[in-house]
Amino acid sequence: MPKVTVHRKAHFNSAHRLYRKEWADEKNSQVFGKCNNPYYHGHNYELIVSVKGEIDPETGFVMDLSILRGLIKSEIEDYFDHKNLNIELEEFKDLNPTAENISVVIYNKLREKISQDLELSIKLYETPRNFVTYSGE
Amino acid sequence: MPKVTVHRKAHFNSAHRLYRKEWADEKNSQVFGKCNNPYYHGHNYELIVSVKGEIDPETGFVMDLSILRGLIKSEIEDYFDHKNLNIELEEFKDLNPTAENISVVIYNKLREKISQDLELSIKLYETPRNFVTYSGE
Amino acid sequence: MPKVTVHRKAHFNSAHRLYRKEWADEKNSQVFGKCNNPYYHGHNYELIVSVKGEIDPETGFVMDLSILRGLIKSEIEDYFDHKNLNIELEEFKDLNPTAENISVVIYNKLREKISQDLELSIKLYETPRNFVTYSGE
Amino acid sequence: MPKVTVHRKAHFNSAHRLYRKEWADEKNSQVFGKCNNPYYHGHNYELIVSVKGEIDPETGFVMDLSILRGLIKSEIEDYFDHKNLNIELEEFKDLNPTAENISVVIYNKLREKISQDLELSIKLYETPRNFVTYSGE
Amino acid sequence: MPKVTVHRKAHFNSAHRLYRKEWADEKNSQVFGKCNNPYYHGHNYELIVSVKGEIDPETGFVMDLSILRGLIKSEIEDYFDHKNLNIELEEFKDLNPTAENISVVIYNKLREKISQDLELSIKLYETPRNFVTYSGE
Amino acid sequence: MPKVTVHRKAHFNSAHRLYRKEWADEKNSQVFGKCNNPYYHGHNYELIVSVKGEIDPETGFVMDLSILRGLIKSEIEDYFDHKNLNIELEEFKDLNPTAENISVVIYNKLREKISQDLELSIKLYETPRNFVTYSGE
């Protein structure tokens, strides 16, 4: 059967700051600029989750999108939305919440829930001008 | 010469329903939900056709986009636009018109018309939040 | 208090055909072109609902957007989404489901549910290139 | 001379929470839901500033857009970007930073700097689905 | 009958420079900056034409969009597309091709061809961040 | 460390014409159509620069986006913006400024400035409907 990739778009709004606790304030400020603001700033994150596999000849689906949509809601949107990433999410206790690191966290959370027969990749927009992609490499 | 991919965007509006005639109505309804509505629903499909190959040193083109645009119009837009996919298109007589299957049909129709020296891939948006990609694998 | 307009975006997917039963097939075809296809075609309708009024000094809201979002869901999205407008919606039994007429139907359904102290207007995209606005004039 | 409106798009990223200090926590939570999270959340605010007036017959401009762009940068982007609206901006010490109230604050800050011969209005996107407009009424 | 506004999106690509021949080069350069480049630069202009009127009770249309689309093509797209506005269009022989002035020229060309019973307005994007609106005031 | 791709969006406005000086006018006109207009036309080019590499465990960055943004500004935006590509840029003295060729020129200019440990690719929109991608193959 042909291998097709299905993509589903989602979003969440969060606050964060870029910060490395091992560094002095001056170094944090120098490296992370205004993203280091101790009072936080935030983003409307737009997320595209992509799943690649063979079309099921019975349904015509690679994966039932209502199941994928449900997974994204329970694992990602409900977990990240309207949260302060630095304070409220354990993954970022010792990990700087850059777009790169957030994309790896999202990938890992979804990878556990999606069949290993399916390839997974992630696109995460921090702003319309800055975004990242990650596929588990 | 450098290998570049050229992309061309197009669109068409169609009606469809998701449905498998071998299944009872209850199973169709359970698997396909409201997409199984027997009176049909519809979409503005957005299509991106991508063609990869070496730049022609004379023209600076991978492929003349006016030729590609013409192919997309005659093979895809004129064929799918303002149609009921289930009733009017022979490809979907026995094939469920999911986005996955539509993308394979589009790919196959274009693949016949485009030089084998050029790689082809397809992106098809069923809605701004649901889309698929296919490259002949 | 300042008067501000709040806008909320929503969407639904429907099938329809343009058709006037008092007319002969030839005239329907001549006036409505391929939109008259008897097997229907469809669209991803994008809807923006706009509500204007004074800011409530206690909440800072013109209208609680979660209430507006709920109204749009129950009155419009659940009613129009994945439906065949001509066959399944009583409003279009004798009314041609053009974007103009759909916008008036949506406006009238919402107007009943929103306080008369608030001004209402509607923007409805049939495609990214064709859309209408209506404000009850 | 013809009266034309010129529009300029800008953006900033901020953290905020919706909260009214006169209210008990329960009431804040009930009215503002997850937007009341005490650890803040955030948005990519997109702003469109619109200025209406007669075309200057010499320049062909209603207003030099490089001047308008500079004003938006100094008065709005530099002031709001990467800030916590509740903590860092004096305007929101006693004013709930809803999109409605933010739009009024932005309008008032720009209104002082733009000639009274020109009409001003503001469109502010809190998310791609929620936005407000204000024109000084 | 309800009064509805129908909108149609179109586009064209042109080259231009901002320049006033009565002025010395220094003043042109000072006022128009890099837009004054004597070798020209260019834009993908996006145009939205809006027509307001009563819905025709027979067709459900304010104006047949295929007629409006045809008018925009013959009067505007064919006239402006892939042209150098300063050199090739007589309207700009003595008129600076700012977005403001282009919108007035477009409005006047369409106003002659559209029934006086219908209100007309124009939105013209010079870039996604700079745009103008004109309604004949 | 995980390998992530970071993407940064930028834009510039330029004039160009498609033209091959070795060819007669008739052949130029026949191959390049209205893009061959000797008075030029222009575009709002949208550019996405993508850089792939391992996340730096200290910063959480693949590459500091403020450095990438600065490179794009100095190497590409300042060089291409508001220019006539055929006349003013030496790269196009003997090279037809098609989107394909422009993408290769941009790639080569950036490739020199970005560490060889990082993979580079380019997406260039000539219009919202025509775009190209290049990754150095």
Angle at E34 between CA E30 and CA E36, to 5 degrees: 70
Q: How far is C26 from chain D (nearest CA, A)?
A: 42
- Contacting partners of chain D (3+ CB pairs under 8 A): A, C, E
CA angle A79, A83, A85 (to 5 degrees): 90
**Cβ pair D59:E129 closer than 8 A:** no
Give CA torsion, residues A68, A73, A75, A80, to 10 deg: 140
How many Å lie between the alpha carbon of C37 and the closest alpha carbon of chain B? 7
For D6, the enclosing helix (H) or strand (E) is strand D3-16
Which residue does chain C place closest to D23, by CA atoms? C58
Among F98, F131, F133, beta carbon nearest to B60: F98
Query: Which pLDDT band holds residue D132 (cuts at 50, 70, 90)?
Result: very high
Contact flag A40-D42 (C-beta cutoff 8 Å): yes
Question: How far is A19 from E67, CA to CA, in rounded Å?
Answer: 58
Query: Which pLDDT band holds residue D53 (cuts at 50, 70, 90)?
Result: very high
Chain F residue numbers with beta carbons less than 8 Å from the beta carbon of E34 are 81-82
ipTM: 0.95
- Which residues contact residue D38 at a Cβ distance below 8 angstroms, ignoring those fewer than 6 apart? D17, D19
pTM above 0.80, yes or no: yes
Write down the pLDDT at residue D15: 98
Closest residue in D to E128 (Cα–Cα): D9
**Would an 8 Å CB–CB cutoff place D4 in contact with chain E?**
yes
- The residue type found at D69 is R
CA distances from F15 to A56, A127, F35, F95, F130 (A): 49, 29, 11, 15, 16
Check CB contact under 8 Å for E7 and C132. Answer: yes
Q: Does B82 participate in catalysis according to the annotation?
A: yes
Query: Mean pLDDT throughout D122-127?
Result: 98
Instruction: Report DSSP state, residue B98.
Output: -
What is the distance between the alpha carbons of residues E106 and E101, in angstroms, rounded to a whole number?
Answer: 9
User: How near does any CA of chain C get to the CA of E82, in Å?
Assistant: 21
- Per-residue confidence (pLDDT) for residue B33, from 0 to 100: 95
| Residue-level pLDDT at E116 | 96
CATH class of B3-134: alpha beta
**Inter-chain touch F7–A100, beta carbons under 8 Å:** no
pLDDT at residue number D39: 97
- pLDDT value at residue A91: 97
Confidence of residue C74 (pLDDT cuts 50, 70, 90): very high
State pLDDT tens for residues E82-127.
Answer: 999 999 999 999 999 999 999 999 999 999 999 999 999 999 999 9
Active site residue F82: yes
Could you tell me what percentage of chain A is helix, strand and coil, using 3-state DSSP and rounding each to the nearest 5?
35, 30, 35
Report CB contact under 8 Å: D95, C60. Answer: yes
Counting CB pairs under 8 A, whether chains C and E reach 3 or more, is: yes
Residues C111-120: b if buried by 16+ CB within 10 A, e if exposed? eeebeeebeb
The enclosing H or E element of A102 equals helix A99-111
pLDDT digits (tens, 9 = 90+) for C98-129: 999 999 999 999 999 999 999 999 999 999 99
Residue showing tokens 């590409």: F76
CB contact under 8 A, F132 and B59: no
Residue D137 and residue C6: Cβ atoms within 8 Å?
no
Per the annotation, the verdict on E35 as an active-site residue is yes
* A 83-122: CB under 8 A from F: 95-101, 103-104
User: C15 and B40: CB-CB below 8 Å?
Assistant: yes
Among candidate residues E42, A58, F45, C32, the one with its CA nearest the CA of residue B101:
A58
- Say if residues B91 and B69 touch (Cβ distance below 8 Å): no
The total of other beta-carbon atoms located within 10 Å of residue C23's CB is 16
Sort out which chain B residues have CB atoms less than 8 A from A2's CB and list them: 100, 104, 134, 136-137
What parts of chain B have a pLDDT lower than 70? none
What is the reported pLDDT for A111? 98
* Residue of chain A nearest F10, judged by CA positions: A129
Q: Is E93 exposed, middle or buried (0-12, 13-18, 19+ CB in 10 A)?
A: exposed
Asked if B74 reaches chain C (Cβ–Cβ under 8 Å), the answer is: no
Distance from CA of E40 to the nearest CA of F (A): 6
Nearest-Cα distance to chain F for A56, in Å, is 30
Q: What is the pLDDT of residues F40-52, one digit of tens each?
A: 999 999 999 999 9
What tokens does F87 get? 């006349």
Touching check for D130 and chain C: CB below 8 Å? yes
Do A and B make contact via 3 or more CB pairs under 8 A? The reply is yes
Residue C97 CA to residue C110 CA, distance in Å, equals 18
Question: CB distance B58–F20 less than 8 Å?
Answer: yes
pLDDT tens, residue by residue, A43-66: 999 999 999 999 999 999 999 999
pLDDT of residue F12: 97
Contacts with C, B 21-50, CB within 8 Å: 34-35, 37, 39-44
* CA atoms of A90 and D36, how far apart (whole Å): 21
Buried b (16+ CB within 10 A) or exposed e, A73-91: eebbbebbbbbbbbbbbeb
- Distances B49 to A3, A56, B120 between C-alpha atoms, Å: 17, 24, 7
Strands (E) across F1-136 are located at: 3-16, 41-54, 83-84, 119-125, 130-134
- pLDDT category at F29 given cuts 50, 70, 90 is very high
Mean pLDDT of A121-133: 97
List chain F domain ranges.
3-134
User: What is the distance between the alpha carbons of residues F116 and F114, in angstroms, rounded to a whole number?
Assistant: 6
DSSP A34: G
**For residue F36, what pLDDT band results from cuts at 50, 70 and 90?**
very high
pLDDT, tens digit (0-9, with 9 covering 90-100), for A7-36: 999 999 999 999 999 999 999 999 999 999
pLDDT for res F106: 98
The percent of residues in chain D predicted with pLDDT above 90, rounded, is 100
The answer to whether F66 faces chain B, any CB pair under 8 Å, is no
Contact E37 F128 (CB under 8 A): no
Residue D106 CA to chain centroid, in angstroms? 4
DSSP string for chain E: --EEEEEEEEEEEEEE----TTS-HHHHHHHHGGGG-TT-EEEEEEEEEEEEEEPPTTTS-SS-HHHHHHHIIIIIIHHHTTEEHHHH-GGGSSS---HHHHHHHHHHHHHTTS-TTSEEEEEEESSSSEEEEE---
